[in-house]
Chains A and B, each alone.
Chain A
Amino acid sequence: MTLREAAPILQADNISLRFGGVRALTEVSLSVHPGEVFSIIGPNGAGKTSFVNCVSGRYSPTSGRILFEGQDITRMRTNRRAAVGIGRTFQNLALFGHMTVLENIMVGRHHLLKRGFLAGMAYWAGGAEAEELKHREEVERIIDFLEIQHVRKAIAGQLPYGLRKRVELARAMALQPRLILLDEPMAGMNLEEKEDMARYILDLNEEWGMTVLMIEHDMGVVMDISHRVAVLDFGRCIATGTPEVVLANEHVRRAYLGEVDELAAEPVA
């Protein structure tokens, strides 16, 4: 396993997050290695999204430390984290609904644009300069990859759900992150859309070289495409390992997979 030997791209040490008396996360420690597809699973309210929010900067952990490529980012501002190489998508679609698909993706390149202006964006520009050309090519490459050429001028908010999920992924990819956080990328999708999305995730991991940290409920997909899986339950990390190892774990089966022990199975009189 060469993956294990490399220094982790993301390392969370004893992350705790409290909102008043609510403990969203309790001493969660995880490390994600470069090149991995790492999934976090767990029941609703287990703290999965809270953990991702701590990594992306939306929440600040009450205690603990988060390292990205060896750099302490625990207190780093959210927008700086995007610039150092962490991109994300959201559980509930968070596209800029009134903007076009292309504009949404262009916002994703914000921190990469040195000059303030992308006058004559994308297609109608003539005589674009080198930097602009580079950005356009990159954006076009992402658009091609996710097969959303046909909707690039469409208003994002008017697209069907599956397409919007793809556009959101495109926007996160436009940041050129080394670590991409996907919060339920397949929620609410039909089987065909899920298969497509799984393929995109694998490709962006293998071909685009992005490390993926993903929250997903569809166990079939998670077990298929993840290198490693972590299980959260009531804000604690109860297991980490390869999909097979995690599936075999007794705590996991009880906490998450719906397997009940004999005591609980007995009807309450």
Chain B
Amino acid sequence: MDWNLLLPLLLNGLIVGALYGVVAMSFVLIYKASQVVNFAQGEFLLVGAWVCWYFLTEWHLPFWAGFLFTMAFMTLFGIILQVVVLRPLIGEPVISVIMATIGLGMFFQALMKWIFGVFARPFPPIFATERVELLGLQVQPVYLMSLAISVVIMAAFAWFFTASKHGLAMRATAFDQQVAQSLGISVPKVFAMSWAISALVSSVAGVVVGAVNGVSSALSFYGIKVFPAVILGGLDSIVGAVLGGIIVGLLENLAQYVDATWLNWGNMYAIAPFYALILILLVKPYGLFGTKNIERV
């Protein structure tokens, strides 16, 4: 065992996996609340990262201000998307809604390339670049920030769904819309709110990844990585999404290790999660925490 290679890979897996978890959570949030499979989740990251990049480099805002502006922008973005595109599709066949979200994904992918170009752009440096020592490893502070932000978002989700008025309303709506309405909950508002929160949270992940790797259309790949994560965790489980995300992150890096040490096939890193996806669908199609009677699409 080559611990000098394995440990950093595992740490990397945990950090990236936590980000996958965050994106998967926001994917599940939309699915749970409004039964929409959002194929444009990755583009939420992309749009959020580009918008933040724009605020920072073109408007020369300090990071905190640019970050806040981005969050406000993405909240509005999510609401508008739901109201303008998804709301008219309520009651339409699942496949139509999926087509619409795929279309949205392509549209924003192209729009971002049109506005910002096709090349990756670096974020202005946000943190000191000196490495810090952690468990005998040299780690860049920006990675630690990324992990911390993921954990904060997860804690905020946990709090939101158990102790806030709107979180409870969202869970109630996910369970039974008719009953929720009879208790005074506005279902259209809950739908809009779920899209707003999902866009907001995904964009935070987008900014974090952008700050580490630079902003480019590769960011939307996170939206695809979300699928193995949520299928593993169960399509309608927030906890499952977090665990699924972390497992996929670790899996990627373990695959990388196995590949680099023994197999030498190359590129296992990118492919392993999707092998896992196929396996899970064969063995446990509802995932670890999914509800058994959910509709499969």
**A residues at B contact (CB < 8 Å):** 56-58, 77-79, 81-83, 87-88, 90, 94, 96-99, 103, 106-108, 110-111, 113, 115-121, 171, 175
Interface pair A79/B187, CB less than 8 Å apart: yes
Q: How far is the CA of A171 from the CA of B175 in the complex (A)?
A: 15
Asked whether A116 and B164 contact (CB < 8 A) given A96-B172, A98-B175, A99-B171, the answer is yes
Nearest chain A residue, comparing its CB with the CB of B175:
A96
* Bound complex: CA A115 to CA B166 (Å): 10
B185 at the interface (CB under 8 A from A): yes
Which of B's residues lie within 8 Å of A, judged by CB?
Answer: 159, 162-166, 168-169, 171-172, 175-176, 178-187
Question: By the criterion CB–CB under 8 Å, are A94 and B184 in contact?
Answer: no
The residues of A that contact B169 with a CB separation of less than 8 Å are 107, 110
| Given known A58-B182, A96-B176, contact A117–B165 (CB-CB < 8 A) | yes
| Contacting pair A110 B187 (CB below 8 A) | no
Bound form: Cα–Cα A117–B166 in Å: 8
Residues in B neighbouring A110, C-beta threshold 8 A: 165, 168-169, 172, 183-185
B176 touches A117 (CB 8 A): no
What is the CB-to-nearest-CB distance from A51 to chain B, in angstroms, rounded to a whole number?
Answer: 15
> Among B175, B178, B181, B185, which residue has its beta carbon within 8 angstroms of that of A97?
B175
* Cβ A116 vs Cβ B165 within 8 A: yes
Q: Which residues of A contact B176 (CB under 8 A)?
A: 94, 96
B residues within 8 A CB of A90? 179, 182
Beta-carbon contact of B186 and A118 below 8 Å: no
Tell me, in angstroms, the Cα distance from A96 to B164 when the chains sit together. Answer: 16
Q: With the chains together, A118 CA to B163 CA distance in Å? A: 6
Distance, CA A88 to CA B183, complexed state (A):
8
Q: Known interface pairs A110-B168, A113-B165, A121-B163. Does A78 touch B175 (Cβ–Cβ under 8 Å)?
A: no
B159: chain A residues within 8 A (beta carbon): 119
**Interchain CB contact under 8 A, B164 and A94:** no
User: Given contacts A56-B182, A79-B181, A99-B172, could you give 18 more A-B pairs where the C-beta distance is less than 8 Å?
Assistant: A58-B181, A77-B181, A79-B180, A79-B187, A82-B181, A82-B182, A90-B179, A94-B176, A96-B175, A97-B175, A110-B169, A116-B164, A117-B165, A118-B163, A118-B165, A120-B163, A121-B163, A175-B183
In the complex, the answer to whether A175 meets B163 with C-beta atoms within 8 Å is: no
Looking across the interface, which residue of chain A has its beta carbon closest to that of B181?
A: A78
Residues of B within 8 A of A88 (CB): 182
**Chain B residues in 8 Å Cβ range of A116:** 164-166
Interchain CB contact under 8 A, B185 and A94: no
Contact of A117 among B163, B181, B182 (CB under 8 A): B163
Closest B residue by C-beta to A120? B163
Q: Are A58 and B178 in contact (CB under 8 A)?
A: yes
Q: Contact at A118–B185, with CB atoms within 8 Å?
A: no
Chain B: which residue is nearest A157 at the CB level? Answer: B175
Smallest CB-CB separation from A114: which chain B residue?
A: B165
Q: Let me know if A108 and B183 touch, CB within 8 A.
A: yes
